[in-house]
Structure 1
Amino acid sequence: MSAVLGYALELCDAQFGILFAYSSVKGFKATYIKEIPLAFQTWLTEQDWFHVSPNTGLGRMVSDKDIINIANVRMEEIYRHGDPLRDATANLGGARSFTAIPMVSKEGLIGAFTIYRQQLRPFEEKSLLIARIFADQSVIAIENARLVSEARSAKGE
């Protein structure tokens, strides 16, 4: 998964990215990171699993199950109100532009690729559509790994 995240960063010409696991009960957890600033990485590690406001990019992605593309993370109302995730994204990560790409299986949302630019430059639609293909392929890989694990458990391995 780390390699796929790296490809998405390269494709989208972004500085850093995070692959989040998602649980409707537990919330989000950063499971893979690539090139993330240390202060933001430390903050995410301290959070472990965490819930997000419905007004954050991840929160909107949970309800919409669609790509969220934020041109300027500091210009949204949620930043001015001191949301912890947005504050960490902008101030600890130095992010200016952000996109969240949902990973959706038959059961629903299972995670997200989040990709960040430290300069103010929105992500292009073409790049996001290709990144969505990466996310969809990751869902297939995760589902296959789960099925293999279940088959091994059934056999007693």
Structure 2
Amino acid sequence: MRGQARLVIAALLLSSSVFGALSADVERLARLLIPALMAHQFASACQSRDPDFASEVGGFPAVEAFSERVRGSVLAGLSPAHARTVLLSAAAAARNAAVSEVRALAHSSADEENRRLDRWCDRSAEPFVRTIIERHEQQQETFRQEIARAKS
């Protein structure tokens, strides 16, 4: 549970620190997209190790579909250039979070590193992915309102 809380906090910190020079609407839209992209990154990393990863939410295909759905909602109606800026900003933050998490698990022993990765997938990544999807499903109206405010 501590690992999951750490990942949620990391997502929030990344979304608040990555956007120094970006306009407010780009920042707000990217912040809405980062958690879904992080869930996709984490699921991608763990699914390659365990094909049953995230089975509680439908496995990797469901996580991928969720990420695409959120991406579509956030980017809908934006100009191609604006959508690209939002997507690249959010993707960079999500990728950096995933790389940081995996690097923290590095070990000189390949066996120990594999054990750490497996533990991280089970104890941190899977609960994070599940929580992000469940929160999104429970708070869809709030999410739509935040998107509308960011685009207005």
Instruction: State TM-score, norm by structure 2.
Output: 0.29
Higher strand proportion (structure 1 or 2): 1
Instruction: State TM-score, norm by structure 1.
Output: 0.28
Higher helix proportion (structure 1 or 2): 2
